Amino acid sequence: MSLNSFTLSQVQTELNSFIARVYAWMFLGLLTTAVVAMTVAATPALANAIIGNPILFFALLIAELAAVGVLAMLVRKMSPELATLVFIGYAALNGVTFSIIFLTFTATSIAATFFVTAGTFGVMSVYGYVTQRDLTSLGNLLLMGLIGVIIASVVNIFLANSIIYWIVTFVGILIFVGLTAYDTQKIKNMNRVVNVATGEGQKAAILGALALYLDFINLFLLLLRFTGQRD
């Protein structure tokens, strides 16, 4: 085996290891969210406390946003263990608020939407991994579109316009489908600047997992608007 072949093989092995870590952390985050959500939904006292106390519910939402912001902006100053704890804590907080989904929609529609989301996410993630096209410009456009969707969603809280609601939902689905491919390619490129075996590599894997976790969760919630059947 030539030196170049050995080097390419080593690079590919490191990339595979890094990607495996990212998806493992993402899966653990999703599993944590699902387990916590089902546990809270199955515990009437906890479920009633969240549903019947808007202040508590919004406090949980603020805590979730704070956790994401801290992880995204301060991860370089954290230890790998703290970054991992914040990520799992965020996933657990999401599970608490997502428990409402299990109380609102039928289990069948939730399961069906999950599998549709998983299939769509998988296809776009594979595309982002194998494509030779640079998705940076597309990603920047999608991020600007996401800001527009967020602003429109906030405005529509006061307008309560059904047309705006469905437009935002449809556009949001397209955005997160595209972001899945973009984030996958960005994560793939992370491996070029971090050493997988170091603490920095672990923190990079956590950040990558957070990005894909958010893509999956938001895509799931938006698709549930279309496919979810209420209890």
Q: What is the reported pLDDT for 6?
A: 42
Q: What is the reported pLDDT for 1?
A: 46
Contacts 24+ apart (CB under 8 A), 86-92: 87/25, 87/29, 87/206, 87/209, 87/210, 88/28, 88/29, 88/32, 90/29, 90/64, 90/210, 91/28, 91/29, 91/30, 91/32, 91/33, 91/36, 91/213, 92/32, 92/33, 92/36
Which residue positions in the chain have pLDDT lower than 50? 1-3, 6
Residue 183 to residue 189: CA distance in whole angstroms: 10
Contacts with 114 (C-beta within 8 Å, 6 or more apart), sequence order? 220
pLDDT tens readout for residues 153-192: 999 989 999 999 999 999 999 999 999 999 999 999 887 7
- pTM as predicted: 0.91
Q: What is the reported pLDDT for 8?
A: 59
78 within 8 A of 86, measured Cβ to Cβ: yes
- Longest distance between any two alpha carbons in the chain, whole Å: 67
